[in-house]
Amino acid sequence: MTWKTQHLMIKCINFINNLSLILVTTHQYIHLCTARTFGVHIYYVTMQELIIRNARIVNRGKIEEGDIWIRQGRIYRKGSFSGFAATEIDAQGKVLLPGIIDDQVHFREPGLTHKASIATESRAAVAGGVTSFMEMPNTKPPATTPDRLEEKYAIAARSSLANYSFYMGATNDNLEAVLRTDSRRVCGIKVFMGSSTGNMLVDDTNTLERLFATCPMLIATHCEDETTIRRNLEQAIARYGEAVPVQLHPQIRSTEACYLSSSMAVDLARRYGTRLHVLHLSTRDELALFENDKPLTDKRITAELCVHHLYFDARDYTQLGNRIKCNPAIKGPEHREALLAALLDDRLDLIATDHAPHTAREKAQPYLKAPAGLPLVQHALQIMLACYHQGLISLERIVEKMCHAPAICFRLKERGFIDEGYWADLVLVDLDKEVTVRPDNIYYKCGWSPFEGHAFRGSVEMTFVNGHMVWHNGQFDESRKGMRLEFEGWT
């Protein structure tokens, strides 16, 4: 038997019947095996192999106490078993969740790195238990060509602590490039049917018809009717001039604007059989467009809820102002209550963040100049745990909507579940430990959060990405990067 001698440590453990038991730890071997050479038992173990013991495992609608054995970055065994690993973690009293999959983030790279970068925001993500993300194309330049899209993947390969995918952006004139996108290696096509950060509005009716009729893969849409928004904004300026108050944001980016655009997208998808995913639903009026009469695996039209539309409502503008200005707008409490009900009855299929950081200086500008968007990816799980502690949702449903459903919705390969053979993307949570959000524990590059000073009940103690403990009680291990997500693809 041969082995690479680099990074080799040999420790004599004991002697049994004149046979030495030797532990060999090497960066080259991830599996545990045994060999007998010259009467010596040799075990090969790397630093990656570990067992998590006595965890309350939340998976597939159940909570069961057991162990997880991680090998070669994957879940090798689960249940209750005896075994040996280089590292064993006692998770007694804590819950183990699949890693959160966030299907909508804006990490601002390239071109807007004064706000954020893939490196900084992926750090914040894993600190919050998010192990995989799908990032939007409205960067500078926007990811609207295959070359620009691959440039983002190259940046992530060098710098992202979490697993990653990037949307291909649609415009009024890049349909041919969109149709060449490989659905096994790219999460989806992003269509801004209402303008947002960046200049990527797709408002040509013929383009939308052709896109929905011919695109074989998932189309994710931002739905707000631009004509309605412009009319509402003109009326607000006519009354207030440049001093339009932020409290008018949900009237400017109105319920009507959302419904007109969402209903158009759903109508196109039904007409052409398109695989449509409507992002960040924000109104009760739109909920009638979506169904819950079939399992998620069979749905061709799906919709998501973002954590800020569940946590905040229009009354919070008085205290937080532009910090919670986002598109689509946070609206009244009647909408928030209806959105939660639709999440629980499966008209809304999954939970995301729409993490969209801007600098504190940018957000401090008057309403008309302050950009829309807020940083959320680090605190999304804690927001949902707050809902759990209030009795609004169970742990099993949180895992369903933040882990299982994104994996099913996007046809993600071997992620989103704590199943044997799947990648070991895992989050260990102390449900009762209280964490106060402070500037020194905010990992966004922008350095601020709308939750500053708030104490969340629930702490992410450890995060594992592909079996690597990337986060542990305030410390990052950046020695390994995340992986490019792979998908089953669409036909």
* DSSP-assigned states of every residue in 80-133: S-----SEEEE-TT-EEEEPEEEEEE---TTT-TTT--HHHHHHHHHHTTEEEE
In order of 55, 193, 220, 274, 374, the CA distances from 277 in angstroms are: 34, 13, 5, 9, 22
Q: Rounded distance, CA 223 to CA 265, Å?
A: 8
CB 217 within 8 A of CB 490: yes
| Torsion 196-200-206-209 (CA) sign | negative
CB 30 within 8 A of CB 49: yes
Q: Which residues are catalytic?
A: 354
Question: Which secondary-structure segment (H or E) carries 344?
Answer: helix 333-344
Annotate 156-183 with b (16+ C-beta within 10 A) or e (fewer).
Answer: beebbbbbbbbbbbbbeebeebbeebeb
What is the phi/psi pair of residue 405, to 5°?
A: -65, -45
Annotate 123-146 with b (16+ C-beta within 10 A) or e (fewer).
Answer: bbbbbbbbbbbbbbbbbeebbbbe
